[in-house]
Structure 1
Amino acid sequence: MQDLKTLSRRAAFAALALLATGAAQAHPGHDGHSLVDGFLHPFAGLDHLLAMAAVGLWSAAELPAGRRLAGPAVFLAMLLLGAVLPQFGLLLPGLEAGVAVSVVALGVLMIAARQPALRLPVPVGLGLVGLAALLHGMAHGAELAVGQSFAAYAAGFMTASALLHGAGLVAGGWLQAGRVWAWRATAGLVGASGLAMLAGRL
């Protein structure tokens, strides 16, 4: 049993190193055109993929059972708002770096959720989730092709994001069942990947 646990830990850290190495190039530029493009967009960039899953994971660890959908709900609302802003010409400078920082922040939130001394008040955590969502939404909205339907594109990435949140909630519930090392490895993966992406975008 001990050998199996050691092997599992090594595999987790190997996955962390592999994903962190490739993370800097994880968000290739592409223009969205349709519902399908919108749906695929969160899966095409590791930054978006990790952020959506991390919100579900954090919500499963930090929020009471009856309120665990609050994290994904806040994220989805702010994600949509962020995607609307570029349609009116509102776009933050250094957005790609900001998205990478948000992934790091979500990794830190995950780590703090299992460390009582570091745990943030839930409203603060939800505020950070909302800020991260705003940045990711702006990145989504900025890649909508000119003249294409925002509604269809938004429906696609909102649906995909909700599915990723759901996957994070399920995985978070599994990781809560005494698998402290697995939780730490997952949180480390999210944070390290965000740092690697940030280094590649500065």
Structure 2
Amino acid sequence: MNQIVLATGNQGKLREFRQLFSALSVQIVAQSEFAVPVADETGLSFVENAIIKARNACQFTGLPAIADDSGIEVDALQGRPGIYSSRYAGKGATDADNIQALLRALEGIEAHERTARFQCVLVFMRHANDPTPLICQGTWQGEILETPTGDAGFGYDPVFWVPETDCSAAQLSAEQKHAISHRGKAMRQFIEEFQYARHQ
């Protein structure tokens, strides 16, 4: 199991996964290298969508696959955009489009009511019919800023304020972000369980 397909076309996620997996002798390959068609995310939860994406990658490549479904939940918006985070401003929306849509939705909302969290669910499947996929989850608490700040990261990072570091997620180095982010937490849990499973 030296090669795992990452079920995403998101270059930011691919970069983070390769950094996080660098300690293991595992090669992370983007599903685009196998011309895998994009899965239709018909699930109603992060877990369901991650399973759909991982299974799709396994089916088209014959390799083990890992899928991440993640997004941001804003309390003042009853948890939206949630599973629709990557397309909050519509199909084909850019990160900037989604950020602007979120800021418009929060106009007039006081700072103390702009609490939010990033959620990440990782699903690993050994093959398309894997009956026991490995599922890991990580959460990152923060608040939504009124204007984007910082130019690192991707997605909603420029408007996600991190109280513990007193800056936006887009102002953190890659190492700082991995140490405390939703994806970093889910990945550490995954790597621990993955290594255990490999040695059984």
Q: Is the shorter-chain TM-score for this pair beyond 0.5, marking a shared fold?
A: no
Relative contact order (C-alpha < 8 Å, sep 6+): which is higher?
A: 1
Normalising by structure 1, what TM-score? 0.25
Q: Which has the higher helix share?
A: 1
Q: Which has the higher strand share?
A: 2
Normalising by structure 2, what TM-score? 0.25
